């Protein structure tokens, strides 16, 4: 009798589910016709085109309950002309009083603002799309959608909007150029949904109904936007985005020399079709990108910080979402990390309804003082849709050192000649989104077979209104290498089942409550258990949107290599030693409607070497809406260990000031004091968006040594960018 391989069984199981995928809310249809008059973006519903447009109304409540119509009334109209897609929304008030927003800052936090959002699926694949919206003060929101309901807000594009407030409502009006989005030419039905969050009533609603366990962005639950004619061809769609930069910096810590920057560069976007785009970049600079939020690192492995650079974002899910959070064969922040990017090109988008493609090539320069050679990075992905919402993706990644002949007697670090990865991944998403999962295989290649290794991982998740469970396993060989990826751990097998349940009581106070249980096991290549975490948690969510979580966990670790449990002292625990402990903690987040908001987390319990660790974090915020937002983040760790470590305290403090003078004029000041790395960082950024997607930035950065206090380095950069449509 022939045995069925477990992976074959899992793939067959997933294929059965994907084959059943169907459109759910196809009965919710909004007709859109060409504008019968000129549209002026002023937040006033007075043009004849709006009076002639069909109205989407009678929204459904998503939270706190998903079994009735919304209490807050929202009316949406859409129309278009040869250049733009237009949207106007009348957001009626259900309760007297002012709106609630954080600020006029772009890409605001969804849960802390009265807002309206549009979710578009212009490919009608229930997987990829675009989101646009605004809060009640007029701050814009835009992002690319991927993975069936996730939104990447780092993506910005060229569009205009206006919000006008009245005593009984606020009106949001927008014009979205067809040149700013990608869509399938000739298609006359787009997936679309509208989301409204009203914090005074704590009600989230959508035009097409969405079960409360899913975000309102879920493309599986979109209705249909029915065009009277196919959307117009945007025609020649070429955007050139040059920049000019000047800067000065001084390194006080080393030699005190002053250096100057005078740079020019350019990005270009060329639409080959209405759904396929070519991006080019020459000498790019990302100095205006917001600094990473620092963390106290007590982990044995490398930390992850997300990509924020514009060039890598559109259709970036084709590359960046391959794998899992700790198994990423491609991580774009590896490119240009220690060397300047000289030029690059990226082709991405839809070939047709069933096929997506992504291909990128980047070239970095040589850094001779560090012995870092010039390198070329290539990544290619091809994705085939299976059923309505599932897909199969193949990926190829190559990192190549150019003209590199290292001296074996030199003390400089030696870089590999090349590293390659080839992979295949199946992504499951059932039509109703109750079942999701993936199964993947990866193989790496390197010089002399030293980096030849493989990965297999898979998961299957079920999420109903009450019950959620997930099974995940991973197998990463010891020689697997992804130099352009994020794989902090190798040579292990991982098993991780989790289960959770939620009750939704008939209560005026509590929205939901219930437990979560999870177990994680790691085994080395000999099958010996090296890690185990078992946790139990209980969470409560109030109708006011405040939340509370109580948890306890047991940890066991057999160290595979020496490790400093403070990541600071330099003293290490030996490899092969066993460590186990229990801990408990709590988390609380206050309701977002208040001008003063706060949250805290706490943890106390055991630690390595029979030690103790205490942790307490707070996030405090106060807003003078809509112009000023103040925030203070603190993180305190106390580690009590036997000698030679003794007692160690770490503070991480980060006050932040956001001033949004208008929705085009912003100032941010951010200070981070990190005791673990003995650094105080000051970063200030002024941004003037003088035209859509065109900016002037002034960025000032200081780094200080806390004690004795002195300046390590200082820099100021002036950058001008302009988005020019040809």
Residue whose structure tokens are 């208008």: 662
Candidate from 316-320, 489-493, 494-498, 678-682 with smallest mean pLDDT: 316-320
How many C-beta neighbours within 10 Å does residue 726 have?
9
Q: How confident is the model at residue 434 (pLDDT cuts 50, 70, 90)?
A: very high
pLDDT, one tens digit per residue, over 622-678 is 999 899 999 999 999 999 999 999 999 999 999 999 999 998 999 999 999 999 989
Domain residues for the domain of 100 are: 21-227
Same domain, 358 and 458: yes
Q: How confident is the model at residue 36 (pLDDT cuts 50, 70, 90)?
A: very high
Task: State which of 422, 454, 488 marks the end of a domain.
Answer: 488
Same domain, 25 and 149: yes
Residue 349 has pLDDT above 60, yes or no: yes
Is residue 72 situated within a structural domain?
Answer: yes
Whole-number CA gyration radius for the chain: 26
- Counted domains in the chain: 2
pLDDT at 118: 98
Residue 1 has pLDDT above 70, yes or no: no
Same domain, 221 and 322: no
Q: How confident is the model at residue 22 (pLDDT cuts 50, 70, 90)?
A: low
Same domain, 221 and 315: no
Q: How confident is the model at residue 311 (pLDDT cuts 50, 70, 90)?
A: confident
Is residue 663 situated within a structural domain?
Answer: no
Q: Is pLDDT larger for residue 65 or for residue 407?
A: 65
Residue 363 has pLDDT above 60, yes or no: yes
Same domain, 36 and 157: yes
Between strands 223-227 and 29-34, the pairing is parallel
Strand ranges (E), 465-595: 467-476, 492-501, 510-523, 529-542, 547-558, 578-589
* Cβ–Cβ < 8 Å for 6, 456: no
How many C-beta neighbours within 10 Å does residue 205 have?
26
Contacts of 702 (CB under 8 A, 6+ apart): 680, 681, 682, 711, 713, 714
Same domain, 29 and 148: yes
Task: State which of 488, 522, 556 marks the end of a domain.
Answer: 488
Give the helix, strand, coil percentages of the chain, each rounded to 5: 5, 55, 40
> Distance (Å, rounded) from C-alpha 206 to C-alpha 248?
50
Task: State which of 166, 200, 227 marks the end of a domain.
Answer: 227
Average pLDDT in the chain: 91
Q: How confident is the model at residue 413 (pLDDT cuts 50, 70, 90)?
A: low
Question: Which contacts qualify for 305-310: CB closer than 8 Å, 24 or more apart?
Answer: 305/333, 306/154, 307/154, 307/331, 307/332, 307/333, 308/154, 309/154, 309/284, 310/154, 310/155, 310/156, 310/267, 310/286
Q: Is pLDDT larger for residue 274 or for residue 161?
A: 161
**Eight-class DSSP state of 491:** S
Same domain, 69 and 161: yes
Q: How confident is the model at residue 707 (pLDDT cuts 50, 70, 90)?
A: confident
Same domain, 45 and 151: yes
pLDDT at 411: 62
The CATH number of the domain holding residue 177 is 2.60.40.1190
Same domain, 130 and 216: yes
pLDDT at 410: 65
Residue 417 has pLDDT above 50, yes or no: yes
> Distance (Å, rounded) from C-alpha 499 to C-alpha 485?
30
pLDDT, one tens digit per residue, over 503-533 is 999 888 999 999 999 999 999 999 999 999 9
pLDDT at 5: 44
Beta bridge partners of 362: 344, 377
pLDDT at 409: 66
pLDDT at 377: 96
pLDDT at 23: 79
Is residue 660 situated within a structural domain?
Answer: no
How many C-beta neighbours within 10 Å does residue 665 have?
14
pLDDT at 309: 79
Beta bridge partners of 192: 120, 223
Is residue 723 situated within a structural domain?
Answer: no
Q: Is pLDDT larger for residue 70 or for residue 7?
A: 70
pLDDT, one tens digit per residue, over 40-64 is 999 999 999 999 999 999 999 998 8
Mean pLDDT of 408-436: 86
- Structure token pair of residue 574: 């030996």
């Amino acid at each position: 009798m022939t045995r069925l391989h477990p992976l074959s069984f899992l793939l067959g199981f997933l294929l059965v589910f994907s084959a059943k995928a169907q459109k759910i809310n196809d009965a919710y249809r909004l007709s859109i016709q060409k504008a019968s008059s000129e549209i002026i973006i002023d937040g006033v519903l007075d043009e004849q085109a709006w009076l002639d447009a069909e109205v989407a109304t009678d929204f459904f409540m998503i939270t706190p309950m998903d079994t009735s119509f919304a209490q807050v009334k929202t009316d949406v109209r859409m129309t278009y002309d040869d250049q733009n897609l237009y949207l106007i929304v009348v957001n009626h008030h259900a309760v007297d009083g002012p709106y609630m927003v954080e600020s006029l800052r772009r890409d605001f936090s969804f849960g802390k603002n009265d807002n309206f959002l549009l979710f578009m699926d212009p490919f009608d694949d229930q997987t990829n799309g675009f989101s646009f919206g605004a809060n009640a003060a007029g701050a814009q929101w835009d992002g690319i959608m991927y993975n069936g309901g996730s939104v990447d807000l780092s993506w910005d594009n060229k569009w205009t909007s206006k919000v006008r407030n009245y005593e009984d409502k606020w009106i949001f009006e927008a014009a979205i150029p067809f040149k700013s989005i990608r869509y399938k030419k000739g298609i006359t039905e787009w997936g679309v949904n509208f989301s409204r969050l009203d914090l005074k009533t704590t009600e989230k609603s959508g035009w097409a109904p969405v079960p409360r366990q899913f975000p309102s962005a879920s493309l599986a639950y979109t209705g249909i936007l029915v065009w009277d004619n196919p959307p117009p061809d945007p025609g020649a769609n070429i955007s050139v985005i040059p920049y000019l930069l000047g800067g000065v910096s001084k390194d006080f810590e080393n030699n005190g020399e002053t250096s100057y920057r005078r740079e020019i560069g350019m990005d270009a976007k060329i639409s080959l079709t209405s759904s396929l785009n070519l991006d080019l970049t020459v000498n790019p600079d990302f100095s205006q990108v917001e600094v990473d939020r620092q963390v106290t690192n007590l982990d044995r492995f490398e930390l992850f910080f997300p990509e924020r650079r514009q060039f890598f974002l559109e259709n970036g899910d084709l590359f960046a979402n391959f794998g899992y959070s700790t198994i990423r064969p491609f991580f774009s922040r590896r490119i240009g990390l220690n060397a300047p990017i000289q030029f690059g090109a990226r082709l991405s988008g839809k070939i047709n309804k069933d096929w997506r493609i992504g291909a990128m090539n980047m070239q970095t320069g040589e850094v001779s003082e560090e012995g870092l050679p010039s390198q070329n990075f290539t990544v290619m992905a091809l994705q085939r849709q299976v059923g309505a919402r599932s897909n199969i993706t193949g990926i190829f990644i190559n990192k190549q050192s150019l003209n590199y002949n290292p001296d074996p007697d030199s003390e400089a670090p030696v870089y590999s000649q090349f590293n390659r990865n080839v992979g295949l991944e199946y992504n499951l998403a059932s039509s109703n989104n109750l079942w999701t999962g993936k199964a993947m295989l990866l193989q790496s290649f390197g010089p002399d077979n030293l980096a030849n290794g493989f990965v297999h991982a898979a998961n299957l998740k079920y999420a109903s209104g009450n019950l959620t469970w997930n099974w995940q396993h991973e197998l990463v060989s010891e020689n697997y290498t992804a130099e352009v990826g994020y794989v902090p751990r190798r040579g292990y097998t991982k098993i991780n089942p989790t289960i959770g349940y939620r009750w939704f009581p008939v209560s005026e106070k509590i929205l939901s409550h219930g437990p979560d249980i999870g177990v994680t096991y790691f085994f080395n290549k000999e099958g010996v258990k090296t890690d185990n975490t078992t946790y139990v948690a209980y969470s409560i969510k109030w109708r006011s949107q405040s939340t509370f979580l109580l948890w306890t966990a047991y940890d066991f670790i057999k160290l595979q290599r020496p490790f400093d449990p403070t990541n600071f002292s330099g003293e290490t625990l030996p490899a092969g030693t066993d460590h186990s402990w229990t801990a408990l903690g709590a988390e609380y987040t206050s309701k977002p409607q208040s001008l003063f908001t706060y949250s805290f987390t706490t943890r106390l319990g055991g630690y390595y070497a029979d030690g103790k660790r205490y942790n307490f974090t707070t996030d405090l915020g106060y807003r003078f809406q809509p112009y000023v937002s103040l925030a203070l983040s603190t993180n305190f760790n106390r580690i009590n260990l036997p000698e030679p470590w003794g007692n160690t305290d770490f503070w991480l403090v980060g006050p932040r000031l956001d001033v949004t003078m208008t929705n085009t004029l912003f100032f941010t000041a951010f200070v981070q004091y990190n005791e673990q790395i003995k650094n105080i960082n000051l970063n200030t950024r002024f941004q003037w968006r003088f035209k859509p997607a065109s900016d002037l930035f002034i960025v000032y950065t200081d780094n200080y040594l806390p004690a004795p206090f002195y300046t390590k380095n200082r820099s100021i950069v002036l950058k001008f960018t302009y988005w020019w449509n040809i």
